[in-house]
Structure 1
Amino acid sequence: MLRLSMYAILSDVPPADRYLPMAKDLAADDWPNVLAHIMELFGQYGDELFPFSRNRMVERLIIQERLSDHAWQYLQSRRHIDESDAVFFGAREPQWQSMFDELAPVAMRTHAAEIADELVRPLQDADKNPLRDDTGENRIIIANILKCCIDFGERDLAERQRERLRLMYPKRRMLQRMLDAVMDGSFNQFDPRWECD
């Protein structure tokens, strides 16, 4: 039964969510070894064979067990998940951001600098949104990126990004006010004053 539970977790076959507690119960005191074996198997097969798909059970396992290194490896192996044909042709919604939002807090424990770099990646290309077009939606995205940096303990990085954006876009007054609000802790993305273009 333990092998079946492990298979269900690794293959993410519905209703796989019931197999995680079952595997923990069956493994009992041997759970740390079983967990290591599951993650080893997933590293060998899951990351290499399925880089364009998510395994929600493995994600849940990583989050529940606070497996920081595995969270980072999982994110790294799926960095191009939104470049799949399914996303390109509209058959599947982009998944990177929601996956990153769920796993980044776990990965931060041992990979803070790498996660911080990943957070600000959208702010590195002025020819793409959210930087290209000065819209309310893009300003909120930019502000939320800096807010995430602060929430993850990277206030200095947020400050550096704010100053860089000030220099790049001196005429974007609304953006500057939003970023000031982020830095002083008063930013609320649902505040109606940020919606105007």
Structure 2
Amino acid sequence: MQKFLYFILLLIMCSCFQKKEPLLGDTPYQRSLNASFKDASTSPLKKKDRKVFKSLDFFDVDSTYIVQARLERTPNTEFFEMPTTTDRKAKERVFGIVNFKIKNEDFSLKIYESQDLMEQEGYEDYLFLPFLDLTNGDSTYGGGRYIEVGLHDKENDSIITIDFNTAFNPYCAYNEDYSCPIVPRENFLNTEIKAGVKAFVKD
């Protein structure tokens, strides 16, 4: 009898493992992002959306949108209150200006140091790069997207890699209960950034 019960338990466990779907995504970043959206403890999705969630919609990975940017620091800038989608104010300061080329066109964006990120373990050396582009409101979220840029040496790095393939939507694109920094208008790129996460289409 004990062996029979053990056999039944083994069948149930095997059945559970077989039902577990593999994570979708073409890159480790995409699979990691999809994993966080599937996990109820980290997902910004509403419960009804999470139940049917399989994968975010991504542009094809394109090396054109991995750029080497020249960082011009803006030392001694003070933290200010960046408006968000709620009454909350995000504490940010302009860390510098990043200058780069995409398809032989010159662009520049302000890059920010976020007080929130500085206080998160493991993110102390990350900068916040919000941007708008010509895809917003069409193939991407109307409010713009974000990139988190990690520095090897926050004091001395002058050339940094910006990978627009890792551009992601603010959480408020999925759930209006979240408070998201509003992308400053001066961080508009007059081009289409066909990289990163596309707009979220609710079922």
- Per residue, is there more helix in 1 or in 2? 1
Q: Give TM-score, length-normalised by structure 1.
A: 0.21
Q: Give TM-score, length-normalised by structure 2.
A: 0.20
- Per residue, is there more strand in 1 or in 2? 2
